[in-house]
Amino acid sequence: MVASSWSDIDDGLLNPEWYAAGEPHDAFTLLRQEDPVHWAQPSDYGRPFWAVTTYEHVVGVLNDPGNFSNYRDTKPPRVAARLTASELYQRGTDVFLTHLDPPLHTLHRQPVEGHFQAASISTMRADVEAVVDELLGTAALHDRFDLMQGPAADMPMYVLMRFLGVPRDDWEWLRSQVSRIFTPDDPEYAVEGRSAEEIVSDARHAIADYSAQLARTKRSHPADDFGSLLARTVVDGTRLDDHETGAWLSLLLAAGIATTRNTAVAALWLLHQNPAQRAALAAQPALIDQAVEEVLRWITPVRSRLRVARFDTTIGDRRISAGDWVVPFLSSANRDETVFADPHAFDIQRERKSHVSLGEGIHKCLGMHLVRLELGVFLTKFLAQFPHFSIPNADQPQWIVDHVLNGFSTMQVELRPR
């Protein structure tokens, strides 16, 4: 969608429909160049906020938990109304790691952080490879299918559910609930008589209830999985209770499925649309790690975050008041022309510079090494098995209608040349 005025930009920034045709890069370029810390006053969102769009300022906000809090949410909600303490408790988000500030954040992250370090995640490679081999073997039985429903969608679910020890019969139901949280406007997940915000709330409650029950099961019948480890985790001398363990499980479920799926599908689309990059990767498979980083930068699977100013402070030359909402737009930072040369190009051999797709600072994605492992294994094996894949109607992609999550709602692929 093209913005014709500042008021259009203000109304669009947190409006899901504004992203139906893809990222509004012209508007973000204008913001970066003319008003990089912009006081947005949308007419129908419910409150104003600071839109932060340059790489420098986005990184600065994400790295400053002393001035900018996560307590309200980690991403801009669809409705700005305050949530009560009981609502937060029912959703489980009152103790979400992503909603905690130091020192509580440090206390809760430290006991489990080692299990997500690169060395620990590397031990999962054989399991991830086995999952991908199984899924691609099934995919090979078809000539054409929707990538959003195929192996790219199943891979992160299979890996994460097994990691957490979720019973196989519950996988599809959990995936549908996660999809409702992230894409409630998708017709596939619409619920008659419920608004998008109500669909999100219902799904959060359903996952929280399920996770609390799973936590109780893991505590009484432990197994060799991360869910059971969480049930035994001790924070500041006291073991996590069922509510806290359930919140951990809810967070990992919500964070680990949709974004990895969307990034994997986007990677195949980008390679299809950029034949020279596809050829370069085919000729030099060792470029896979760089390719994964460039896909993450280019697509930015989660385009924005939310922080709330704890004190009067500044961002650049702007005075920020305590209580103001601050929205760093990661997708804009990843296209900042002062940091990335030719930022809108997809170039797997570009000069290595840190993107912000996985966050920055103390809230940087806990599962980032698993995300990279999954994407690298999936792309390597998919391209080796289906080197001639094509995407019909690739020039007319159907984007997810959402103000936070980036990706496609559907993407047909043909595995063999016609």
- Percentage above 70 pLDDT, the chain: 99
User: What distance lies between CA 384 and its chain's CA centroid?
Assistant: 27
Query: Which residues are bridge partners to 68 per DSSP?
Result: 309
pLDDT value, residue 257:
84
Q: How many domains does the chain have?
A: 1
Confidence class for position 4, pLDDT limits 50, 70, 90 = low
pLDDT tens, position by position, 219-278: 899 999 999 998 899 999 999 998 888 888 888 887 888 899 999 999 999 999 999 999
Q: Which phi and psi angles does 69 have, rounded to 5°?
A: -95, 155
Residue 399 falls inside a structural domain: no
Read off the DSSP letter of residue 65. T
Q: Which residue has the higher pLDDT, 196 or 269?
A: 269
300: left (phi over 0), alpha (psi -120 to 50) or beta: left
pLDDT value at residue 3? 59
Q: Is 1 a domain residue? A: no
Q: At what angle do helices 242-256 and 171-182 cross, to 10 degrees?
A: 70
Residue 189 counted as domain residue: yes
Is 313 a residue whose pLDDT tops 80?
yes
Position 184 pLDDT exceeds 90: no
State the Rg of the chain over Cα. 21
Its domain, for residue 299, covers 6-393+404-414
The Cβ of residue 101 has, within 10 Å, a number of other Cβ atoms equal to 17
- Find the mean pLDDT for residues 195-219: 87
Structural domain contains residue 55: yes
Three-state SS for 37?
strand
Q: What is the CATH number of the domain that holds 100?
A: 1.10.630.10
The answer to whether residue 64 is domain-embedded is yes
The confidence band for 159, taking pLDDT boundaries of 50, 70 and 90, is very high
**Is this prediction's pTM over 0.85?**
yes
| Percent of the chain whose predicted confidence (pLDDT) is above 90 | 72
Tokens representing residue 264 in the block = 């994997």
| Within-domain flag for 398 | no
Structural domain contains residue 310: yes
129-146 pLDDT, tens digit per residue, is: 999 999 999 999 999 999
Residue 181 is assigned to a structural domain of this protein: yes
Q: Which residues are CB-neighbours of 388 under 8 A, at least 6 positions away? A: 415, 416, 417
